[in-house]
Amino acid sequence: MTTLSIAAARTLHLAAQGLLSPPRRKAVKQDVLAAIRCMTQLQIDTIHVVARSPYLVVFSRVGPYPPQWLDELLAEGHLFEYWSHEACFVPIEDYGLMRHRMLDPSKMGWKYPAEWHRRHRDDIDRLLAHVRENGPVRAADFEREAGRGNGWWDWKPEKRHLEVLFTLGHLMVAERRNFHRVYDVAQRVLPNWNDSRDLPAAATVTPTLVARTCRALGIARADWIADYYRLERRKYTAELHALADAGEAVPVKVEGWKEDVFVPIELAPLIEDAVQGRLRSTVTTVLSPFDPVVWDRKRAATLFGFDYAIECYTPAAKRKYGYFCLPILQRGRLIGRVDAKAHRAQGVFELKSVHLEPGIRVSASLLADMRRALARCAQWHGTPELAVSSAPREVAQALLATD
């Protein structure tokens, strides 16, 4: 059985995630869809101090592209939205795998407020009938009786009703307008779907999602599987061994790990080159806090030695790094994080703080990689001027240097 170093394991993970080498040409719309298929899902978040997370995750992989391409892929039916990891864009070919959750939402916790559904069933049914008869709606189409709300915890009733119908699969997101969901009945969004004909057997769903996860991670352990699609929290040892027995994964060892480790068969040709150091990631980019590379804190710590937790939900006085820190990926390593804000009206991309990881050696090549990556990100945001508010002196000087 082949034994990999941690560095080789990281390389296979980044290869699976589409972060092995920088894009060699200008992106086309199909590249956006290919990147999402590579990850199997794209988490949605609305925070926009920089580009909203799904757009940034794609940028990290394909380079500069028009963000409206993602919206168009949803409206054209290549993607759909549902609770997979969290709220995610998912390739339409995986609709059947998520359909089982819609049909039995009892295990979805807060994502399905069963008590709300029970208490407001008549209103929810009337809302569904309204959409069926009158066409798509947005939450904004319904006025709040008691004035303006105070955030997601204070949604107006119609918004909650729409979310119930969305979770149950009666409504789907037909498109987004200015990032706001437009809901329509599932029969109009997917007119050719038929449960009795198209629904995969329930017994095949978990094995299929485990296989999808193994392929997306590139290097899979039994304790990493549950998080990716929010499956039942347990180890998926038997399922990974079943993949290996079926020839869909290759068992390997990783130095220092006691756990069984598996590489998807699609990446098997890369194993030897990764072991010999002939295959290495050459990508330097910033990542979203909701990027699959870092969304599992324990996995990121094990693979990269990088302890990452998003702090936007942490009171300001308790933040260690900043409100919306973007991890910095540099040639196979997570070397630091930058708390960024795009001041769009002023054309300024502010680096409110830059933190390098302990033990990172600051070299001319590292600084050059960081500068190019941050300049590309700033340019894509339409805020081409870099400004540094707080950073180690030599880092700030390098980032602001002019050619």
The domain spans of the chain are 309-400
Predicted pLDDT of residue 274: 98
Residue 286 CA to residue 293 CA, distance in Å, equals 11
279-332 pLDDT per residue, tens? 999 999 999 999 999 999 999 999 999 999 999 989 999 999 999 999 999 999
Cβ density class 265-296: b for 16+ within 10 Å, e for less? bebeebbeebbeeebbbebbbbbbbbbbbbbb
| CATH class of the 309-400 domain in this structure | alpha beta
Residue 291 CA to residue 299 CA, distance in Å, equals 12
Tokens of 330: 């540099």
Residue 73 CA to residue 91 CA, distance in Å, equals 10
| Helix, strand or coil, per DSSP, at residue 250 | strand
Q: Which of 333, 298, 395, 292 is nearest to 56 (CA)?
A: 292
Q: Is the pTM of this model over 0.75?
A: yes
What percent helix, strand, coil does the chain show, rounded to 5?
A: 45, 20, 35
148-199 pLDDT per residue, tens? 544 434 468 999 999 999 999 999 999 999 999 999 999 999 999 999 999 9
Predicted pLDDT of residue 156: 86
Tokens of 332: 């196979």
Predicted pLDDT of residue 152: 37
Contact between residue 279 and residue 273 where contact means Cβ atoms under 8 Å apart: yes
Predicted pLDDT of residue 147: 53
The burial of 371, by beta-carbon neighbours within 10 Å (0-12 exposed, 13-18 middle, 19 or more buried), is given as middle
Ramachandran class of 257: left when φ > 0, alpha when ψ lies in -120 to 50, beta otherwise: beta
Residues of the chain with pLDDT under 70: 144-155, 403
Residue linked to tokens 């009892």: 106
Residue 298 CA to residue 307 CA, distance in Å, equals 8
CA 152 to chain centre: 21
Ramachandran class of 333: left when φ > 0, alpha when ψ lies in -120 to 50, beta otherwise: beta
- Kindly calculate the radius of gyration of the chain based on its CA atoms and give it in whole angstroms: 22
Residue 165 CA to residue 282 CA, distance in Å, equals 44
Residue 284, CA distances (Å) to 43, 369, 376 in order = 21, 6, 11
The burial of 191, by beta-carbon neighbours within 10 Å (0-12 exposed, 13-18 middle, 19 or more buried), is given as exposed
Predicted pLDDT of residue 403: 62
Query: Would you give the DSSP letter of residue 200?
Result: P
Residue 183 CA to residue 160 CA, distance in Å, equals 13
Residue 5 CA to residue 38 CA, distance in Å, equals 24
Residue 322 CA to residue 337 CA, distance in Å, equals 9
